[in-house]
Structure 1
Amino acid sequence: MNDIASRRPRGGLGRGLNALLGDVAQDERDTGDRGSARGSVRMIPISAIAPHPEQPRRHFDEAALDELAASVAQRGIIQPIIVRPHGQDFQIVAGERRWRAAQRARLHEVPVVVRDYSDSETLQIALLENIQRQDLNAIEEARAYQRLLDEFGHTQEELARAVHKSRSHVTNLLRLLDLPPEVQAQVVEGKLAMGHARALVGAADPVSLAEQVLTQGLSVRQTEKLASQDKHGAPTSRAPRQGSAPRPHQGTGSADIEALERQLADLLGLRVHILFNDDGRGSITLDYSSLEQLDMVCQRLSGERI
């Protein structure tokens, strides 16, 4: 998957992705009768709002929507929906889940902030807002990244900063789009986890291997080994070096350690390094590029909602 770092944005934003998302975040904090410097919260009929036709999220969890609808019915919508004028009505820029939940809760009006976003800005916010705030499946997230790269000329580094994830996370997701459609569909349907799918990238026959993973209930590490054999033949192992100093994974157990690094990187969105001693002890190092990323991983490790 090519990184188009040298390509200039075609649509032209005039400001960065983080600025766009910062605007949305600020608007969503302006609830009740308070207004932002660029717009104010107001109530409009729910029937006057339509979703964005190119919304990257195609699968909405029904149970989660029912739970959100119950909360909306009891407490109302706390964060306003961001919309833009569209004909005589309005189109959603950010907050489609809230709009859907409000419909289920049979609300007649919802709080909104109306902003004059362009088509380009609207689509980019719709893509990034879903990536950053909701758990798209890996294929939907990868497709969103690919559209931002192809249609708007953003680089992988820019995308990673905008959504507070590592560039390696973005790159690894994009590689999933090299998988055959049958395997991608299994990821979308939740049959294959991202770790399984990543292991299958580059395999000679990923479709057959995916079926084997499903029928045998293989773990990600088992899938890594299976795919390694499919790509290169049976992997060879080296004798462990003498001494007890921590060292990078190599030789016996290296495939397992590499798989663990990848799983942790996917979970945290940061680059992960594992060093280990011959006696089984070791250390884990996380690479972060900003205090925002550090705060994000601390919240994830503590179980706080982001």
Structure 2
Amino acid sequence: MARGLGKGLGRGLDALFQENGQDELVEDINLSELRPNPYQPRHEFEESALKELSDSIKIHGVLQPIIVRKSIKGYDIVVGERRYRASKLAGKVKIPAIVKQLTDTQMMELAVIENLQREDLNPLEEAKSYQFLMDKLKLTQAETADRLGKSRPYIANMLRLMNLPQAVKDLIDQKKITGGHGRTLLGLKSEADMIKVAHKVIAESMSVRALEQYIKTYNQPEEKQKQEKKKPAFLVKHEEKLKRQLGTKVEISKSRKKGKIAIEFTSEEEFNRLIALLESAQ
């Protein structure tokens, strides 16, 4: 179904409407005859923003008609659910609307476009919109990127947010952390760690760059354990012996034909101490 739809989606709402060649006839429709777009990926609307719009509608009315499609019983809202909700809140009985002849597929597309064009869209809501479109229209990431005028890596990067635990998704929804934080947290090994570190990000007002550095340090013990498990027991034994003798970190690595002993020092004073120890051992 999805492959024969063309590329109208990436060009926005006006392009799709103009392709239909329909007249822009504005009608006043009873709010009681309307129902929300069943394909709308957004289900929550900020109450304070709705109240603000409602107050404006009480004074000025609805300045831009909503877009609807005739259904068996009344009309489906295609674009403008926020104006519809605010009008109900304002106590209005009717709302200006333009009736369009649209397919279910076009309704899905338009619902996603409207959602993506919101100024207050957060990264997780954007990711949900891409996932919604892919699921409903059976699109691949490449096809979704092509239809929306985005790059495939951009779509793939946004969709990674869907892999976060719900507790971290909630923090993004609440704007306590950013999408960049969320994607960086995916570098941790467990959901419990992601949640724990996410709260650390909030408590310490950590930037994404600072989080990247922290996660590298956070993961080091586990990476070290993995390396030691692969390392022969006799090398681990000698590493520990040299650490005790030299009082610093020692790393022994061995390949098929050669090996290497790395001794760490953090200052010139420590370097001189280690040299003295090695010379005295001769």
Tell me which interval the TM-score lies in, with the shorter structure as reference length: 0.5 to 0.7
Q: 1:129 to 1:161 in 2, by over 3 A?
A: farther
Which of residues 204, 208, 214 is equivalent to 2:202? 214
Match of 1:90 in 2: 75
The equivalent residue for 1:135 is 120
Per the alignment, do residues 120 and 190 of structure 1 end up closer, same or farther by CA in structure 2, a change over 3 Å counting? same
- Percent identity over the alignment is 38
- Deviation per CA, 1:75-121: give whole Å up to 9, x if none: 21121101111222111111111111111222211111111222222
Residue in structure 2 matching 1:111, options 84, 90, 96: 96
Spell out the pairing of 1:46-125 with structure 2 (5 A cutoff).
46-125=31-110
Residues 22, 100 of structure 2: 8 Å contact kept: no
Unaligned runs of 5+ in 2: 223-282
What SS is found at the alignment partner of 1:44? Answer: strand
Distance 1:163-1:23 versus aligned 2 partners, 3 A rule: same
Deviation at 1:124, TM superposition (A): 1.9
What is the match of residue 186 of structure 1? 171
Q: Is the 8 A contact 2:34 2:76 kept in 1?
A: yes
Larger deviation, residues 101-110 vs 90-99 = 101-110
Cα shift readout 1:235-256 (whole Å, capped 9, x = no counterpart): xxxxxxxxxxxxxxxxxxxxxx
Deviation at residue 12 of structure 1 after TM alignment: 4.0
**Separation of aligned partners in 2, 1:190 and 1:121:** 31
State the Cα distance separating 1:53 from its structure 2 match.
3.2
The size of the alignment, in residue pairs, is 218
Moved more, 208-217 or 98-107: 208-217
Question: Is the CA contact (8 Å cut-off) linking 2:62 and 2:95 kept in structure 1?
Answer: yes
- Establish whether residue 195 from structure 1 lines up as the match of residue 180 from structure 2: yes
| Mean Cα deviation higher: 108-117 or 214-223 | 214-223
Q: 2: distance between equivalents of 1:104 and 1:179?
A: 35
Q: Describe the SS at the equivalent of 2:95.
A: strand
With over 3 angstroms needed to count, the CA separation of the structure-2 counterparts of 1:81 and 1:74, relative to structure 1, is same
Q: Deviations over 1:204-236 (max 9, x none)?
A: 2312211222333323332222223334579xx
2:5 to 5, 13, 25: 13
Cα offset, 1:64, TM superposition = 1.5
Aligned partner letter, 2:120: D
